[in-house]
Amino acid sequence: MENRKPAVSIVFASAQGSTREIAEYIGNDLAARGATVEVADAEHAPDLSRFDAVVIGSAVRDMALLPTVAEYVASHRNELSARPVWLFSVGIEPALRGPIGHLIGRMVPKRIAAVRDSIGPREYQAFAGHYERVGVSLGARVLYRLLGGGRYGDLRDWTAIGAFSDSIAQALKLHAPHTIPIHP
């Protein structure tokens, strides 16, 4: 990677679009810093042999990464171990407030930890996503409120996402961007 642009594959699985938008934001940021970036969903991920680094992102369902990402990691474990990898997840837990919410928000569910530990990423980060009230059962809404959920809508922390992207860029020795990517 010394005298050429590092090539970064960003692989994601999204349930409602938040994870895709975060993956695209990170991809735009790294490209603005000089990397060659390809963003693709896990089902259409490119061959990893032409990439120097990989960023993997997944929505969280039932306290686990989406099956397409878990399967992707399992089937590409050898290729992933040969290059630096970063992992992020997108769920509701990081948006929870209050004592119980903060405790839950800091916990890494066992099934996510198992996938994380199987590839040993340089960094794992959990982000809040989009959480809409429409279509959510009354019981789930009450539980969300009891656990410290304060509001509905776009709960993503773009400053934290930018810091995660910046840490990837620093590890890859990329320069500062000429323009700051704008989040969706």
- Residue 184 pLDDT: 66
Residue 180 is predicted with a pLDDT of: 62
CA distance 176 to 166: 9
Query: Region 53-60: what's the mean pLDDT?
Result: 97
HSE-CB of 24 using CA atoms within 13 angstroms: 10
Q: Which of 55, 66, 70 is nearest to 22 (CA)?
A: 55
Residue 31 confidence (pLDDT): 95
C-beta of residue 22 within 8 angstroms of C-beta of residue 78:
no
What is the mean pLDDT of the segment spanning 92-117?
82
Q: For residue 20, is pLDDT > 80?
A: yes
Say yes or no to pLDDT of 182 above 90. Answer: no
pLDDT score recorded for residue 106 = 76
What is the dihedral sign for C-alpha 93, 99, 100, 106? positive
Percent of the chain with pLDDT strictly greater than 70: 88
Provide the phi-psi class of 27: left if phi over 0, else alpha when psi is between -120 and 50, else beta: alpha
Which has the minimum average pLDDT: 28-32, 66-70, 147-151, 162-166? 147-151
Q: Which domains does the chain have, with CATH numbers?
A: 7-171 (3.40.50.360)
In this predicted structure, the answer to whether residue 173 has a pLDDT above a threshold of 50 is: yes
Q: Average pLDDT in the 11-15 region? A: 96
Work out the percent of the chain whose per-residue pLDDT is above 90. 64
Confidence (pLDDT) at 2: 52
- Of 148 and 45, the one with more pLDDT: 45
Work out the pLDDT band at 1, boundaries 50, 70, 90: very low
pLDDT at 126 over 80: yes
pLDDT in tens, 68-80: 999 999 999 999 9
